[in-house]
Every structure is written in C-alpha cells, then in structure tokens.
C-alpha cells in the first residue's frame, strides 16, 4: 500500500525552481557556445538553383495527377528546358576550370566535433552538478498514474520501494527539463539561416540527381485523378 507524501514548501523554493532556472541558463549558454563554434558555409548559386529545380521536379512528380494534362505537359517541357540550360552552363563552367578544388574535409569534421561537444558536454556536467547538490530530494509529482516501468527513470538516486511511481526526484526533474524544454528554448534562441536551410535541402536531395527526376517525368503515363470527382461527390 502506497502512502501519499506532503512536500515541504521550501523544496519548491530551493530545489524545484532553481533546477528550472539552472536548466534555462545552461541551454542559453549552450546556444551561445554553438554560435561561436559554428562555421559559416556558403552555398553557391549553382547549388541553390539545383535545389529549387529538384523541388519543382519532385512536386510535379507527386502532384501531376491533380492538374489538367495540358498544364502537366507545359510544366514538363518547361522543366526540361531548365535542365538542359543548367547542364549547358555546368559543362561550360567545368571546361573553364583548370583544376578541381576539393573542400577541406578536416575543418568540417573539427567543426562538427566542436558543435557536438558544445551541445552535449554542458548537459552532462550540469547533470552531474545537480545530482551532487540536490541529491535525494523529491521535487514534484506527475498528475497522472504511471506504471512501475517509469519508477527507475523518474526516481533516480531515490531507493524507496513504497513510493508511488508518479513522484519525481531532483535528478530526474533536471533531465525532464532538459529534454522537455529544449524545443521550447530553441523557438526563442535558435536562428536558422537561409544557407543552413539550403544545405539541409541539398543533403536531402543528395540521393537522386536532376537527371533521375527528369527521367521519371518522361516515363509518366498521365492519368487525371479528378476526372470523375463530380460524379462521385453527387453519388
């Protein structure tokens, strides 16, 4: 039989709220550290054009059955001309280059290691500090019934077999704040530039080339899915 607890109000003042404020401060400093270690990588105009062209090709491949056949053919011919123009510009650019310039992979790996270290190391050190300073405190109670599977996760550093699984220790409360509030803090502090968005899109489309998208459009047998939509709605 579980016995309910009555927490001292001082725990809210000296344990519960300080952990919340401390988590907020650590995330704020981590964000600024990531901005210091982040290297600015600029995408070329050619890469940005490829991204936009791939977006158009992918959108037409997915949604071609919802537009009239004439509109589909016009878009397909327009994109074909864009691909031919881009290939012509790419060939002329390659002929003018005397030697290929390889990106510095070493700097990219070092920058990646710095960003991961600045992101995870403060969380680990802060968790160790919270576990040392606030060890053994029960902070709050989750207002929903939980099974015993959550007991070990929510009650770190507290070994009480007759304690309800809904109670949360100070150590577990810190990590709930970290993983629960990180997305909320990112909405206020994280700034994603257009260059990062373009790089993300470029990585997402890395598997398929523009020629592969163009070949898919060439072999599409057009079928208008909304041809009998009025009859189906009436029925």
On whether residue 101 sits in a domain, the answer given is: no
Indicate the burial class of 139 (C-beta count within 10 angstroms; 0-12, 13-18, 19 or more): buried
Helix (H, G, I), strand (E, B), or coil: what is residue 24? helix
pLDDT tens, residue by residue, 194-228: 444 444 444 444 445 667 767 777 787 788 877 76
pLDDT tens, residue by residue, 49-72: 888 888 888 888 888 888 888 888
Helix (H, G, I), strand (E, B), or coil: what is residue 208? coil
Q: Kindly state whether residues 147 and 53 are assigned to the same domain.
A: no
Q: Kindly state whether residues 213 and 131 are assigned to the same domain.
A: no
Residue numbers of the domain that contains 203: 46-94+192-222
On whether residue 209 sits in a domain, the answer given is: yes
Give which of 19, 85, 15 is closest to 50, Cα–Cα. Answer: 85
Asked if residue 139 has pLDDT above 70, the reply is yes
At 94, list the tokens: 């390659």
Asked if residue 188 has pLDDT above 60, the reply is yes
Distance of CA 75 to the CA centre of its chain: 32
Model-level pTM? 0.53
Q: Kindly state whether residues 160 and 114 are assigned to the same domain.
A: yes
Number of domains comprising the chain: 2
On whether residue 25 sits in a domain, the answer given is: yes
């Amino acid at each position: 039989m579980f016995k309910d607890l009555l927490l001292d109000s001082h725990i809210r003042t000296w344990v519960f709220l300080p952990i919340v404020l401390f988590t907020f401060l650590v995330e704020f400093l981590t964000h600024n550290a990531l901005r210091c270690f982040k290297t600015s990588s600029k995408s070329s105009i050619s890469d940005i054009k490829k991204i936009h062209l791939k977006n158009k090709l992918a959108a037409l491949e997915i949604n071609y059955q919802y537009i009239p056949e004439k509109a589909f053919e016009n878009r397909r011919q327009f994109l074909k001309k864009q691909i031919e123009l881009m290939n012509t510009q790419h060939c002329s650019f390659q002929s003018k280059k005397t030697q290929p310039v390889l990106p510095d992979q070493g700097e990219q790996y070092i920058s990646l290691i710095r960003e991961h270290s600045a992101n995870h190391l403060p969380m680990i050190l802060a968790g160790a500090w919270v576990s040392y300073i606030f060890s053994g405190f029960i902070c709050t109670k989750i207002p929903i019934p939980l099974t015993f599977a959550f007991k070990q996760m929510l009650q770190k550093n507290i070994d009480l077999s007759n304690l309800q699984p809904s109670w949360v220790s100070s150590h577990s409360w810190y990590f709930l704040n970290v993983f629960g509030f990180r997305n909320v803090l990112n909405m206020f502090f994280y700034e994603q530039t257009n260059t990062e968005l373009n790089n993300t899109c470029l990585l997402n489309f890395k598997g398929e080339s523009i020629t592969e998208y163009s070949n898919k459009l060439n072999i599409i047998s057009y079928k208008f899915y909304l041809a009998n939509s009025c009859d189906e709605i009436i029925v």
